Every structure is written in structure tokens, then in C-alpha cells.
Amino acid sequence: MTRSLVGTPALFIPGPTNVPERVRSAIDIPMEDQRAPDLPEFTLPLFADLKKVFKTESGQVFLFPSSGTGGWEAAMTNTLSPGDKVLIASFGQFSHLWVDLCQRQGFDVEVVDVDWGEGVPVERFQEILAADTEHEIKAVLATHNETATGVTSDIAGVRGALDAAGHPAMLFVDGVSSIASIDFRMDEWGVDVAVSGSQKGFMLPAGLAIVCFSQKALKAAGSATSRRCYFDIADMIRTNKDGYFPYTPPMSLIRGLRASVDMLFEEGLENVFARHYRLAEAVRRAVSAWGLSLCATEPKWHSDTVSAIYLPEGVDSGAFVKYAYQQYGISYGVGLSKVAGRVFRIGHLGALNETMILSIIGATELVMRDFDVAFQTGSGVAAAVEYLHESNKNIRDIAA
């Protein structure tokens, strides 16, 4: 039997995420003049509103035509010099890739290896920072949400570790799969550079690195000697102040970003975060009902944007993901690196609601039945329905 072409494919990878019709309509426009005299009337308010998403008053947002990886590079090369020491924990494929980028860029990288399924080790960071009395560490790097393992780390705790040690290092955060989905507080947490991307919580196609620099990071850019050209924020600052860009911007994506930000504000950021928690918790309740386990080892690490789920011993998650796609048009995230062949990932972020999350839970039960995974059919759907019903009581009481 081959997959039917009828219906809409079920996209449940942790990015790119589903693009709402409103955003797609905003993108689907004729090409425009990127140097038009009225362009600043559009771009300057967008820059200001993006700061609200990062929850910063003093920071500055830059839009690079790039992926999140380009955002990492912009963060590093604009604020640091070759040989500068940075501290980072590796606990999943994407934190590992950030380590790799730093090493290739010629920085002195102190890596703290952490078991996959856990997050940034705040206590260990504090010990290292306290011992660094000469303040050789210039930046602390933290992956807010590790997409490979479904783990969210405590960024406020990392700031606390820096403050407790009295350490002046800058704090850089990879928020690619968290910002616009999970609560993020740039000013309150003392984050100096935050990196996000268009294809996750911002509900856009891939193609934009959305990066925010604090005033401290902007000042550091004045003395950093890392080579940079395309990602040089000096060029951006010079042109962005007037509402323009140093090179041809992807205006279609930026028009879509305007629509995305409007949608986030209309729902309310706190409501966006609450929705992501509810849908993630519905998935977690289903996983528990199935008798399976998450890669995240404790509830404190649970991610509200992606769940990495272990399949029973002897079931190849790679084959599971491939079969789901070929047979039913379901796209799960595959297991990466250390957890390849062991986990599959359900992305639950962006433009997603209760009926969509119930559909993937039910579809997952179908795939598991086809793979002879032992579980009670309907148990995951039932657990998710009960949780969504109970957690919706306050809303229903208000409506009544």
C-alpha cells in the first residue's frame, strides 16, 4: 500500500513549522523596491515590535537573511576576538553544533559535557565562573531549548550563576526553538545576545536569523577583532536606523514576519506560552499513558516546543519515522546523533491548536500499532483529551 496523496501532510517536526494562511498571504506579494522612500514606515515599527517579543527595551534587533546558525556566527564574531575563551555545555545535537562553530571560529572553548536528556548545568557553571578569578571567560553560551532531546534549560539560573560569581562575561542564548513559543525575558535575565530563527515560533519559512543584542554586546562589537563582513552589525546599525538594510533584504519574508508578530500580539504573548504548555503537556500525558518515556530525564527539563520520545528496545525509530512518512504522510523529527534510532520527535510549536495535537497523538497510535509496539490502543488520545478538557475548565467557566 502506498500513501494517498489526498489530504494535507501532517508536519510535526520541530521546525520548519506550519505557516498560517495569514502569514502565507502576507508573503505572497509582488516584489517591491527595498529602497522605496516609504519603506521605513513599515520597517521601523517592526524593529520596535520585535523587541517586545524578546522582552527588551534597550536591546537592538537585527534581521539577517540566514538560518539560526548564521545568527550564532553573528553573535560570536561581532562581540569576541580570536582566542577569547567561552563556556558552553553540550547536551544535544544543536548545542554540540554551536560548540563546533565556536571551535572553527578560533575561540578557546571550554565545553562541559552533559548527559543527553539534561540541560545547562547551572551549579557547575557557577563553580567554573567562580574559579575564573582572572575573568578569562568572555562569554557564557546557553541553548535555551535543545531541539534534539526536547530539553529546556534555566536561563534565569545561568544569569544567577554569573551574578553569584561576580563575573562580567556576556551571556549568549540560542533561542531558536524557544523565542515566540516559550517565555523569554532578555532584559530581566541579563541576556546579551539572543538568537532566534523565522521557521519555529515565528511561523515563517526558514530564511531569517532574528538576533537581538544588548547595549553591552553592542559596545563589545566596537573592540571585537573577529573577521566579519556579511554578519557585521556595524553595517546593519548604519542602515537600519533609517529603516533600510545594507544589502537586498528578503522583503517577502519580512512582510510575513510583520503578520506573524501581529498574530502573536493579538493572541497575547503570555497566552501563546500557555497554549504551548497545554499542547506539550497533552503530548506528555499521552506518552506516559503509552508506557513510553521522554528523552528529558526530569519534568524540570521538559520542553514545551518538542518532545523526544524513546521507542521500546528493538524498535528502530529511523524506520518508524520513515514508515510514518511513506505510509501516512506524517513528518516526525528523527533521532539525531547519540539518540539516532532510539527516539522520534513530535514538534508542538508555532501555529498549532488542540485538534491538531490530538490528530498527531491519534496518528502516532496508528503507527505504533503497525509496528507492534505494546500499548493500550486509545490510551494516549484519552489521556490527552482528559487533560485538555480539565485544563480548559477556567476558560469554559469564564465563557459561561
In a domain, 290, yes or no: yes
Domain boundary among 266, 281, 298: 266
Asked whether residue 262 falls in the same domain as residue 316, the answer is no
Backbone angles phi, psi at 308, to 5 degrees: -95, 120
In a domain, 3, yes or no: no
Cell of 46: 517592526
Q: What residue type is assigned to position 22 of the chain?
A: R
Of residues 163, 154, 148, 228, the one with CA closest to residue 185: 154
Asked whether residue 168 falls in the same domain as residue 185, the answer is yes
CB count in 10 Å sphere of residue 26: 21
In a domain, 1, yes or no: no
In a domain, 5, yes or no: no
Asked whether residue 47 falls in the same domain as residue 62, the answer is yes
Residue 321's Cβ-count burial label (10 Å; 0-12, 13-18, 19+) is buried
CATH number at residue 391: 3.90.1150.10
In a domain, 4, yes or no: no
In a domain, 60, yes or no: yes
Residue 302's Cβ-count burial label (10 Å; 0-12, 13-18, 19+) is middle
Asked whether residue 42 falls in the same domain as residue 185, the answer is yes
Asked whether residue 218 falls in the same domain as residue 339, the answer is no
Q: What residue type is assigned to position 173 of the chain?
A: V
pLDDT for the residue numbered 399:
47
Cell of 32: 517591491
Give CA angle at 278 (302, 331), nearest 5°.
75
Asked whether residue 112 falls in the same domain as residue 259, the answer is yes
In a domain, 147, yes or no: yes
Domain boundary among 215, 231, 266: 266
Q: What is the mean pLDDT of each run of 10 residues along the chain (400 residues)?
A: 74 97 97 97 98 98 97 98 98 97 98 98 98 98 98 98 98 98 98 98 98 98 97 98 97 98 98 98 98 98 98 97 96 96 98 98 98 98 97 63
d(CA 19, CA 203) in angstroms, rounded, equals 5
In a domain, 95, yes or no: yes
Domain boundary among 206, 237, 266: 266
Asked whether residue 276 falls in the same domain as residue 253, the answer is no
Cell of 328: 501516512
pLDDT for the residue numbered 1:
57
Count of domains in the chain?
2
234 Ramachandran zone, left/alpha/beta (phi>0; psi -120 to 50): alpha
d(CA 220, CA 170) in angstroms, rounded, equals 9
CATH number at residue 140: 3.40.640.10
Cell of 122: 547551572
**If you ran DSSP here, which 8-state letter would residue 197 be given?**
E
pLDDT for the residue numbered 205:
98
Asked whether residue 134 falls in the same domain as residue 279, the answer is no
Asked whether residue 42 falls in the same domain as residue 79, the answer is yes
Asked whether residue 209 falls in the same domain as residue 88, the answer is yes
Cell 469554559 belongs to residue: 396
What residues make up the domain containing 199? 21-266
Asked whether residue 40 falls in the same domain as residue 92, the answer is yes
pLDDT for the residue numbered 397:
57
Asked whether residue 217 falls in the same domain as residue 129, the answer is yes
